[in-house]
Amino acid sequence: MSSENKVKESWNEWSETWYLKYRTEEAIARVISSPASAFHPTTYRLIREAFPDLTGKRVLVPSSGDNHAVFAFHLLGAQVTSCDISDKQIENASIIAKHHSWDIEFICEDTMTLSQLPSEEYDLVYTSNGVHVWIHDLKSMYNNVSRVLKSDGVYIMYDIHPFMRPFGIKAKEALTINKPYHLTGPFGEVPTFKWRIQDILNAVVSSSLHIKRIEEMYAENGWFWVDDSENEGDNLTAKEVESYSDWRENPSAALPQWLSVKAVKYTKE
């Protein structure tokens, strides 16, 4: 089985199991009541600086995952296309959109090809947390992101900071090294990749995208360090969770947890 098929098969399974929590009525209600909550505040500021008014703007969200960003962009007035390699993720997101009468385009598509999408169509392409780890060909991904953007179109990304990747992250424990920074993968039976900053940014600049701003951010609160898959947060007090953001008590908090990049498509004169 090809690596792409392994990824697709795995995400189809996770969409029906682990990802259910992202589709609860409560989770969707939070996005409806505050679309900005679908983004890190710093990333949202980059979006708003580029587009003070998103009304009518064409927005593409490849590797759309939980689709919270997709729903948020729609609620902010954009015309949104959601793409994901997992047909189950697309199907489940489209059910939510239909329930709320949201006019959103959903396409099952590989982010490295975007083969069903026309060139120079979108004002903004946005990729969110957890995209790059599944991409084995960053250059192809960014060449196609650039291709589908209009001239002077904007690309904005938000993802785990590569400095997090070498470490075994466990709240309030000493930092342990899981791998050298330069080893990027593939790792695991379902292949994932731990790209470096240079891998991501070199792929961006090689695709006629001009980097305009880079932001390195900390987690919004201590919940970042809590493993919700194992219900670690059930017995924690608010004060204990808050303490996870203090690097003096939690060494891992000294590292930047998130990375955002804003780039603009180069226009030849």
pLDDT, tens digit, 9 for 90 and up, residues 66-99: 999 999 999 999 999 999 999 999 999 999 999 9
| pLDDT at 164 > cutoff 70 | yes
Give the β-pairing of 149-160 and 176-177: unpaired
Longest dimension (CA), the chain: 60
- Please state the rounded mean pLDDT for residues 185-194: 94
> Is pLDDT at 113 greater than 60 in this prediction?
yes
Contact 218, 258 (CB under 8 A): yes
pLDDT above 70 for 230? no
Strands (E), the chain: 58-61, 79-84, 105-108, 122-127, 149-160, 167-168, 176-177, 209-217, 258-265
Decide: 7 and 110 in contact? Cβ < 8 Å. no
Q: Give the pLDDT band (50/70/90) at residue 168.
A: confident
Percent of the chain with pLDDT over 70: 97
- Which residues have C-beta within 8 Å of that of residue 182, sequence separation ≥ 6? 196
5: pLDDT strictly greater than 90: no
The pLDDT value given to residue 173: 81
Q: Where are the alpha helices (DSSP H) in the chain?
A: 3-15, 25-33, 41-50, 68-75, 87-99, 138-148, 197-205, 238-243
In this predicted structure, what is the pLDDT of residue 16? 87
pLDDT at 229: 61
Residues 6+ apart with CB under 8 A from 29: none
Residue ranges and CATH numbers for the domains of the chain are 3-163+179-228+258-265 (3.40.50.150)
- Asked whether 247 and 225 are in contact (CB, 8 A), the reply is no
Whether the CB-CB separation of 60 and 148 falls below 8 Å is answered with yes
Q: Is the pLDDT of residue 1 over 70?
A: no
d(CA 118, CA 109): 13
Q: Is the pTM of this model over 0.85?
A: yes
pLDDT, averaged across the chain: 93
Find the Cα–Cα–Cα–Cα dihedral 147, 182, 230, 11, rounded to 10°. 30
In the predicted model, what is the mean pLDDT of residues 17-25? 89
Q: How far apart are CA 199 and CA 201, in angstroms?
A: 6
Residues in the chain: 269
Report whether pLDDT(131) > 90: yes
pLDDT in tens, 236-269: 888 989 999 999 999 989 999 999 999 999 876 5
pLDDT for res 266: 81
Say whether pLDDT at 143 is over 90: yes
